[in-house]
Amino acid sequence: MASLNRYAIRRLFQAIPALLVVIVLAFLLIQLSPGDPAWVLAGDNASPEYVEQVRQRYGFDRPLPEQLWLYIKTVASGDLGYSLTYHLPVAKLIADRIPASILLLLAGELLAAIVGTALGAFSAKSHPSALDSALSSITLSLYCMPTFWTGLILILVFSVWTKGFLPASGMYSVPRMHGLAYVFDVLKHMILPSITIFIYNMPTYFRLTRASVFEIMHEDFVTTARFIGINEREVFYRHCLRNAILPSVTMAGLGLGNLLGGALITETVFSWPGIGRLMYDAIFARDFPLAMGILIIGAMTVIVATLVTDIAYAFLDPRIRYSKS
């Protein structure tokens, strides 16, 4: 346990410089993108004098290094700034949208991890067979389908052709329901976007687990277990699957950490009011503080998820922490 604690502390300190680099890169990318946020705030018909006033008011006239230093100090104090379009604190806007994204990603990502891992293990166990070939072909086809295309097809089939059998957009109906009816309404609205995330991510878990099981089944310790008389069922579940599931654990952690990238396209297609949709609106509105705030929160989520995944990996496989202690 002491080695695991040392490993966790070391990984935590390694995450701090990574977060600082992300903040700097996010700031530079937003600043170097085309367009002038002062013109966006002032309006198309604003006079140059008024645009200059807006630029001075929000600090856009200061040198880039000074803007970067002030922004780093502000973020370090816990203040992500003030949205230029919503006229609200960035932290509040993000906090209001994160639960919707977490709800959607947990449903799609966890379902993909469970089903993909189970199918991958079953496919590897039954190799070679027609079922293994069929599962491999189907998952490969699903992986090749773009997320936005999958979402549009699901909307066409289950919402348009079926006369509104499932909601095509939004998180809840208008007017908003209350109590248990609201819960079921939200669950109904999240079916299609969750399936979209599931269809895209499940093949990855399938391929990872299938390849890992294949590799583990030919390891010396598995051969030894068979040689000493352990039955095949116990060999597979206790020795093969237990070790082969580690890559899927890593993938699940990274997938849940990818709060921004994993949700942006899906939330945009289904008008889901999450952080991905908020990022989409912030980019098109040239809302620098909001866009950078979302990027920083997204980066922090990925770093934390990676840290938790590494610790879980080290817990499941002691060789990791002992080899790096």
List pLDDT tens digits, range 41-78: 666 667 777 777 777 766 777 777 877 787 777 777 77
Q: Is residue 148 part of a domain?
A: yes
Q: Is residue 55 part of a domain?
A: no
Range of the domain at 152: 2-34+80-323
Q: Is residue 40 part of a domain?
A: no
Identify how many contiguous H helices and E strands the chain contains and give both numbers: 17, 0
pLDDT in tens, 274-313: 888 888 888 777 777 788 888 888 777 777 777 777 776 6
pLDDT at 212: 81
* pLDDT over 70 percentage in the chain: 78
User: What is the tally of structural domains in the chain?
Assistant: 1
Confidence (pTM) = 0.74
Q: Is residue 115 part of a domain?
A: yes
Q: Is residue 72 part of a domain?
A: no
Q: Is residue 54 part of a domain?
A: no
Q: Is residue 207 part of a domain?
A: yes
pLDDT in tens, 207-235: 888 888 777 777 777 777 777 777 667 77
Interacting residues of 148 by C-beta distance below 8 A, sequence separation 6+:
265, 268, 269
Q: In degrees rounded to 5, what are phi and psi of residue 213?
A: -65, -45
Residue 28 near residue 22 (C-beta atoms within 8 A): no
54-63, 98-107, 185-194, 300-309: segment of lowest average pLDDT:
54-63
The SS3 call for residue 89 is strand
Mean pLDDT (whole number) for 138-147: 86
266 vs 226, which has greater pLDDT?
266
Which of 311, 256, 253, 293 shows the shortest CA–CA distance to 22? 293
pLDDT at 192: 92
pLDDT in tens, 230-256: 766 777 766 677 667 777 777 776 666
Output the CA–CA distances (angstroms, integers) from residue 184 to 13, 172, 325, in the order listed: 43, 9, 49
Task: Provide the CATH number for the domain around residue 306.
Answer: 1.10.3720.10
The answer on pLDDT for 325 being more than 50 is no
